[in-house]
Structure 1
């Protein structure tokens, strides 16, 4: 078993933002909004659509978001900081419990909580569980978003909005807003931004102009590698994959006009059989992951990248407190 390393990433909840960047004129609004919802409800895609670029990974696999990443929406009248949390769910592992704790801590500290409910799916037990958890956070403004409207008929959307109102009433929540949105085709994304900004308090700009996220680059890189690793793998694998960037830095002795960013990362799975799946026949699968991840990282950072990936086994890491700490959870 190879689990000897001590790298970790910061997955803390929302603390007050760093040093205030500067006062703005009267009427400027700033604050935090958090998207919650069951896994694969469209939270990450919506975050990216509002920010205007990719700041969180997306995947058809549920439970792909593990870190709380802040995406920053800049407007002349406001700064909206979006907190993309893991999906709230009934946990089956210690990792699941820690991810749920992360979400609950976040919800208590943001200005607005928006639950994402896919319009192409009926409201189910998982949605009711999440809304009941939201109801326990008394002081935070609550908004409901009908996501994925591009996948639903007008009749489905209409019934879904009625079901959302009923869901809130059952939990004792009065929605500040209920809005249907498609992050994929952009429908009503601008309206949603307006509505969220309208719920924020007046306050100063919290981040410098141009910042789109405050997640460290190493976390973003690790997440992009994990996203590439998730594509096309079997259903049992996604929860078992963790990525740690061990080293990252510009290669020395290069022409400044031709920089190269060296990234050395380990991809952790729980069993030998999973390692074989990730490597693939004669290393083909791992090469595909590396190529896809490298392209995404280069697009994000704007620098040519040399990516060195290794697969390691951390046996049953999702249930082992010591290994969870080592992997940053």
Structure 2
């Protein structure tokens, strides 16, 4: 049986919160929770985990931090890790954790039914739980959506007609890196480099976060950007007058780029049975509790998206290749640097 230390390592962990029926934050020295979760997903976890505890009686403690930091912590702790579940954002991070043998293969007919095949590990070591689409956003006063290339919308932004009109995220963003990795996977490196060089030639303005990007489009600083859909939904909640519309990318081609939040049972977990039960719940009965507050799309096709994002309309998504997102990440970073994208 592994030890369950209750200390927080300075500089590694950003928060430590427990969800216990009838209780609040777990204090040091109290009985540890049934499940320990290392989570790089920071969106509204308390509500979903609290509902899980209410329905099952299984208490949950989660420690949040950066994806890479938490994975390194898992590796450093080895057999002594207190973690039962590793939860992260970006399919490439899930693939990397599995590749480094930190996640256990599990057998779950419930997850096989709830999670589409390309949104879970072929060896059943991790499962997607929430889906986000990274697509085009634009100012309708300045852009006619008929201007967009419906076959290859991301590549279409390299067209000189968009010069001085583009805003995008920085090269250090996992969103940017996974999008470029998917373009390498889809088109090959030479074509992907040509696309990114086209963005740079169009004097793309680099933004540090998606909210700033949307605000810039609304203000007319730029006309078009690439955003995760849920940032638009959240910003519209706060400002219904926001003058930004969404365009589903590449609907006559490969489809809109998507990524996931997901989780796996830590290899050698003390409480692997309840860890699997939590992941199954999050993909089935708990799907809406997990995704709705952050306006993410459910991975489970039997679960309806919440109304704000349902209003964006249906779309065809690009099949997700987690191995490409992970394995091609370093190449995507190099390509961005070669293209002069910062």
Instruction: Between the two structures, name the one with larger relative contact order (CA 8 Å, sep ≥ 6).
Output: 2
- Please identify which structure carries the higher helix content: 2
How would you bin the TM-score normalised by the shorter chain?
A: under 0.3
Q: Structure 2 length normalisation: TM-score? A: 0.27
